[in-house]
Amino acid sequence: MARAANPNLKQQLADAATEIFATHGLAAARVSDITDRAGTSKGAFYLHFESKEAAYLEIARTFLDRLLSLLGCQGDVLCDPAAPDHLEREVAADREFMDFLWQHRRPLAMVLDGAVGTPYASMQDEFIDSVLRHMRSSIHLHQRTYPHLVNIIDPELAATMATGIVFMYARRIIREHRPPFAVEHLIAFRALLASGNSLVGELAASSATSVVPAHPAVGSSTP
């Protein structure tokens, strides 16, 4: 009697491939590494993927599509910049976004570092461009609510700065065992955009995670 096909085998192979690509990179990865980790045969692998490159591309594309979907949903939530709780909703969206990156740090590592030296290295650029488009849209919403920003900061510069924060912490996420305090920096950045330094302390205090205390000012008598 023939053994029933495993309906979860493709996902098992994808999970194994994600770990191998994130750890060793696409160039060094072997199909046998993936199948050994998944506990199956090369024949089973080739039933689901044409090659290791095809597996990488499908996994990376799935991750980026989910990222775009999340950012798109957040854009819908943030579409009313005049709402009194708009800044708080942006902070909540930042938390959701950074949590998504933390929960998906292995495919994130695969996208940021796993394709170095291959034709798929542009996946990193797609990640950055996705975040930049989202930040650019968010900054434009800010300017509709706070018109003074037009004369204070160039929107493209602000979007690039926010994207830089995300990218810096994305790289930390793939190396560390605990989530970094990325959200607190985004909170401070958004608060400064909204109405200056006065909101930073208030929003940071409402954060569910701790914030490193500020150092005393130079020349302060505080010990």
For residue 196, the domain's CATH number is: 1.10.357
Is residue 134 assigned to a domain? yes
- Specify the number of domains making up the chain: 1
Residue 103's domain comprises 56-205
pLDDT computed for residue 94 by the predictor = 77
Which residues neighbour 51 within 8 Å (Cβ) at sequence distance 6 or greater?
31
Is residue 61 assigned to a domain? yes
Is residue 154 assigned to a domain? yes
Burial of 69 (0-12, 13-18, 19+ CB in 10 A): exposed
Is residue 19 assigned to a domain? no
Which amino acid makes up residue 39?
G
Both structure tokens of 52: 């290791």
Is residue 13 assigned to a domain? no
Is residue 21 assigned to a domain? no
Is residue 88 assigned to a domain? yes
pLDDT computed for residue 98 by the predictor = 83
Listed as ranges, residues in the chain with pLDDT below 70 are: 1-5, 73-87, 142-153, 180-223
pTM of the model: 0.75
pLDDT computed for residue 121 by the predictor = 93
pLDDT computed for residue 92 by the predictor = 79
- For residue range 60-79, what is the model confidence (pLDDT) as tens digits? 999 999 998 888 766 655 55
- For residue range 177-217, what is the model confidence (pLDDT) as tens digits? 777 666 666 666 666 665 544 444 454 555 544 443 443 43
Is residue 222 assigned to a domain? no
